[in-house]
Structures are given as structure tokens and as C-alpha cells.
Amino acid sequence: MINAEKMSKSTGNFMTMVQAIQEYGADATRLSLADAGDGLMDANFGKDTANATILRLTKEETWIKEVLEAEAGTFREGECTEFMDRVFECQMNQCIETATKCFEEMKFHDALVACYYDMGNARDQYRVNCR
């Protein structure tokens, strides 16, 4: 499905993988397809989701570049011994375990949530708590 409508060449509501990649890029297409749904229900590729994914990935890339430039040479090295370091490490391990299980069960939407959204939220909370 595309935008909650059944794909059909006759109605013009049809998109190939090549077209999706050309329009949204490979990464945004991959994430949007993973977000489209699992199981026996028809997957729903949302164009709004794909566009939002492009924006989210672009913002993430910009943020990473800004942090690397602004904080170059100030990153800590060595063991993560602070309480928040251990909390963050535990959260990352939980995300990895959840995603691994989801991938093994072919639950790609749930794996996306664990890998991308939950890890991003944990990182943001870690940064807030360590300022």
C-alpha cells in the first residue's frame, strides 16, 4: 500500500523500489519500509513518513557534524565509570538485545524502534544528564 491505498498501476498509485530510492534515497526508503509494518497485514509505505525520515536523517547528520566540530578534543576517554555512563550503557545493551530478537523474528518495525528511536532517545537523555 502507498499512503493507506492499495497500489494499482491503473490508478497511478504505484511505485517501484527504484522509483522510491530515486525519490527518497536508499536510507530513507529503507527506514520507511521498515516502518511500514510487519506481519500478515499489507505494508503501508507512507510518502509523508519517507519525507519526514529524510528530514530526520539530515538533522541527525548536521547534529553529528556540529558536535564533532564544537567538541573536538574534549571527548572523554577510558572506562565509563560515572553512574549516567553505566545507565546509558545498559540502555544501549537493552536496545541491542531487543533489536537482535526482533530481527531474528523478522519484526522489522519493532527492530527499527529499538535501533533508531529508542537509541536516539537514550543518547539525548544521556547528553541532557551529563551537561
% of the chain beyond a pLDDT of 70: 98
pLDDT tops 90 at residue 44? no
Mean pLDDT of the chain: 87
| pTM given for the model | 0.74
Least confident of 12-21, 34-43, 115-124: 34-43
pLDDT tops 80 at residue 38? no
C-alpha distances out from residue 30 to 20, 27, 80, 117, Å? 10, 5, 33, 15
Domain ranges of the chain: 1-73, 76-131
Q: How high is the pLDDT of residue 40?
A: 66
Name every residue whose Cβ is closer than 8 Å to that of residue 129 and which is 6 or more positions away in sequence.
84
